[in-house]
Structure 1
């Protein structure tokens, strides 16, 4: 198996490290339903996964019209999210052993997320993994977030390398588009929305979980993952 020449690992946050996409989906649907919106809401929420909040707000206004009660939806969404996360910030299975393996290989790693810096900082802290990254890149750091490549290009720069020398791990179609456009070696672990054929073509591999990612990195980077 061909060895990858890799300088760093770049990881998406929501749906990849943190099992929050299902939280956001539940909170979004609850907010819409509370205001009388039900038809097509689940599909619309799926289409917004992996997209920055401001872009999703434009999508909602385009879909429902200028009179859509965006402020109230955001309020209800935030309240429901807090209610759900009061039970704890859920990690995706395999996160800790994957981070251990990357560290054992001596590779720096960064979070690359469409969330705001405030949200990313708070959620990584609640998950107790905020100390495990060499950099955290958020939508606040660039003028164009995912699916544009800017965040991945900047993350590689922050880690003093170039994107083609990085492995990027993503869960969403927009995230894969961003990582691939930057030139990174892109792995996908789908969360809620399955990959499109176009997305699959942009991935080095589509894997079932982070344990499979760890195993692939162990083979491709020739390090022994911790057990």
Structure 2
């Protein structure tokens, strides 16, 4: 395992990286779409991973046509997800708390850069009891361009006060890895629903099965 220079700042994606919400979202989106007479298959769903609401809307309308009720289905999807998480709790990914404690003990700052809206990100962090670990939250509505463009990661670095070179991105999706690469930020991939294609995976410094293994990658100062 090739060691990485210890960063000053680690940027976390949220859905599929910290929380096992991508699979839950797929189920809830299928249910919501079905109520309006549409079918969302996995291939289409995977195209929307890591993008903000604007890009999601464009993808869905391109696939279904202008009559597709994007906002209604999106809102119903989140309502279904919230109802499940309220009753069952936020599905935290294995190794997350160990990683956050390890980074905190090394005085490494942590941020979240998610295509979800910032209010939703903050709510999810609070529900999982981990808000105190993150000094900056950058949501999908805070930049004009979505992943795979680099804007959201550059915004997170700027807000936190660190250069891209002093930062590290943790991502699960192809769009996220491409965004980190375009931002000039080293990235580690922890795949979720599907492993990114080899052409994208090669952009990552390392590919790991669990979040806590990131600590083994970082060289002590």
Q: Does the TM-score normalized on the shorter chain lie above 0.5?
A: yes
- The alignment status of 1:211 with 2:212, answered yes or no, reads yes
Aligned pair count?
Answer: 219
CA contact (8 A) 1:164 1:182 kept: no
- Structure 1 counterpart of 2:160: 159
Q: Structure 1 residue runs of 4+, over 6 Å off?
A: none
CA contact (8 A) 1:6 1:167 kept: yes
The DSSP-based 3-state class of the residue aligned with 2:38 is coil
The DSSP-based 3-state class of the residue aligned with 1:169 is strand
- Counterpart CA distance in 2 for 1:24 and 1:94 is 21
1:159-180 superposed Cα distances (whole Å, 9 cap, x missing partner): 2221122111001110111111
- Structure 1 counterpart of 2:189: 188
Deviation at 1:3, TM superposition (A): 5.1
Q: Any unmatched runs of 5+ in structure 2?
A: none
- Structure 2 counterpart of 1:149: 150
Equivalent runs, 1:45-64 vs 2, <5 Å:
45-64=45-64
Q: CA RMSD in A?
A: 1.7
Deviation at 1:33, TM superposition (A): 2.4
CA contact (8 A) 2:53 2:140 kept: no
Deviation at 1:42, TM superposition (A): 1.9
- The alignment status of 1:133 with 2:134, answered yes or no, reads yes
Deviation at 1:222, TM superposition (A): 1.7
Q: Any unmatched runs of 5+ in structure 1?
A: none
1:30-78 superposed Cα distances (whole Å, 9 cap, x missing partner): 112233323x622111111111122111111111111113243234313
Q: 1:188 to 1:89 in 2, by over 3 A?
A: same
- Greater shift in the superposed pair: 171-180 or 68-77: 68-77
- Counterpart CA distance in 2 for 1:21 and 1:95 is 16
Q: 1:32 to 1:139 in 2, by over 3 A?
A: same
- TM-score w.r.t. structure 2 length? 0.92
